[in-house]
Amino acid sequence: MLHMLQKKIGIDLGTTSTLVYLPKRGIIINEPSVVAISLLDKKVLAVGDEAKDMIGRTPDTIVAKRPLRDGVIADYKTTESMLRYFINKAIGGIKLFRPEVMIAVPAGITSTERRAVIDATMSAGAKAAYIIKEPIASAIGANIPIGSASGHMVVDMGGGTSEIAVISLGGIVTNTSIRIGGVKFDYAIAEFIRKKYGLAIGERTSEEIKIRIGSAMYLDDNERLKMNIKGRDMISGLPRSIEVNSDDVTEALQNDLQGVISAVKTVLFNTPPELSADVMDKGMILTGGSSLLRNIDTLLSQATGVPAYVADDAILCVAKGTGVALDNLESYKRSILSTK
């Protein structure tokens, strides 16, 4: 009986969103990593979806913030309350049973940053906390046989970071972590629109532009996407609406996309020849929310000569992988740094 209630939870703790996976049930939570706090009494007012709606719209006594920056904890206390909220929501508030939790973190984090994630998870109510590196988790979630003796390349593009790794025999052979992801993309779009059209837009609008009309490569005239956006005119200070198209987004993202390309090239450059041949055969697998940007696969394969494929359910790969690894701890012991 007790064994039945032994809860296991996999968490993809991301800069922009947190996903929670329960073995046998799949992804049960996918909410923004945002916490709204009242400055008067330091109380947490809302977490997740509810808190995100408050971004850019709060009176000055309430602040909505993202406690993670570039994939790591920037604000410890807030991260802890956020984790507690997600863990309680996942186990349906049965306080008696403390769950085992596995959290995915960027491969490039320092031991101090790793310690912080474990401590925050334990204080948020976990019985045991394990850490798995994002590239490994996303590969498991994308059904890549990571235990085999051949090289697999994963490009996991999230909100705060992009992780590029070549995995073989359950471990990371070469990898790099860059602080370019969805948040950086949104920021670049807002900057570009401010410069080109003299219009100030908020982060929610720039994210919407990216999702609705964004493309990593220029589209042909007949495929070009357009949308109307509203913002504040930089000169008159009054609201104004304009039409932007996908070329604006492509141009705005040039710099950041070059950063992703050169990181992918660095990893390929540092990969042992035997494994390079494997990667060439199988191609690289793209996961994470930012891999959903139109044509990013084509861009990467043209730039590197290695075929690129976007994984199914790319946004869910990391969270799924944490759940699978937690369910099969024994077989993944080598790939996971467990610290009690």
Q: Same CATH fold, 182-252 and 3-137+318-338?
A: no
Mean pLDDT score across all residues of the chain: 90
* Per-residue CA distances from 1 to 5, 6, 110 (Å): 7, 9, 39
pLDDT of residue 334: 61
Using DSSP bridges, classify how beta strands 239-245 and 72-73 pair: parallel, antiparallel or unpaired.
Answer: unpaired
Question: Percent of the chain having pLDDT more than 70?
Answer: 95
pLDDT of residue 30: 94
Nearest to 88 by CA among 124, 52, 64: 124
DSSP 153-175: EEEEE-SS-EEEEEEETTEEEEE
Q: Any idea which of 6-20, 52-66, 136-150, 315-329 has the lowest mean pLDDT?
A: 52-66
Does 141 score more than 50 pLDDT? yes
Which of the listed CATH numbers 3.40.50.970, 1.10.10.10, 3.30.420.40, 3.20.19.10 matches domain 145-180+257-315?
A: 3.30.420.40
Q: Kindly report the pTM of this predicted structure.
A: 0.90
Which pLDDT tens digit goes with each residue over 145-189? Answer: 988 889 999 999 999 999 999 999 888 999 999 999 999 999 999
Higher pLDDT, 332 or 297: 297
* 3-state secondary structure (DSSP) of residue 285: strand
Read off the pLDDT of each residue in 7-26 and give the average, rounded to a whole number.
Answer: 91
* Per-residue CA distances from 181 to 49, 207, 269 (Å): 20, 12, 22
Residue 47's identity, in one-letter code, is V
Which of the listed CATH numbers 3.40.50.1360, 2.102.10.10, 3.90.640.10, 3.40.50.2300 matches domain 182-252?
A: 3.90.640.10
Higher pLDDT, 231 or 64: 231
Read off the pLDDT of each residue in 51-74 and give the average, rounded to a whole number.
Answer: 84
Q: Any idea which of 103-107, 229-233, 326-330 has the lowest mean pLDDT?
A: 326-330
pLDDT of residue 294: 96
pLDDT of residue 336: 62
Does 63 score more than 50 pLDDT? yes
pLDDT of residue 108: 83
Task: Read off the pLDDT band of 1 (50, 70, 90).
Answer: very low
Which pLDDT tens digit goes with each residue over 242-290? Answer: 999 999 999 999 999 999 999 999 999 999 999 999 999 999 999 999 9
**In the chain, domain spans:** 3-137+318-338, 145-180+257-315, 182-252
pLDDT of residue 204: 87
Query: Could you tell me which residues are beta bridge partners of residue 35?
Result: 47, 65
CATH architecture of the region 3-137+318-338: 2-Layer Sandwich (3.30)
Question: Percent of the chain having pLDDT more than 90?
Answer: 68
pLDDT of residue 262: 97
Read off the pLDDT of each residue in 56-83 and give the average, rounded to a whole number.
Answer: 86
Q: Tell me the C-alpha distance between 116 and 105, whole Å.
A: 11
Contact 308, 283 (CB under 8 A): yes
Does 326 score more than 80 pLDDT? yes
Which pLDDT tens digit goes with each residue over 187-245? Answer: 999 999 999 999 999 988 999 999 999 999 999 999 999 999 999 999 999 999 999 99
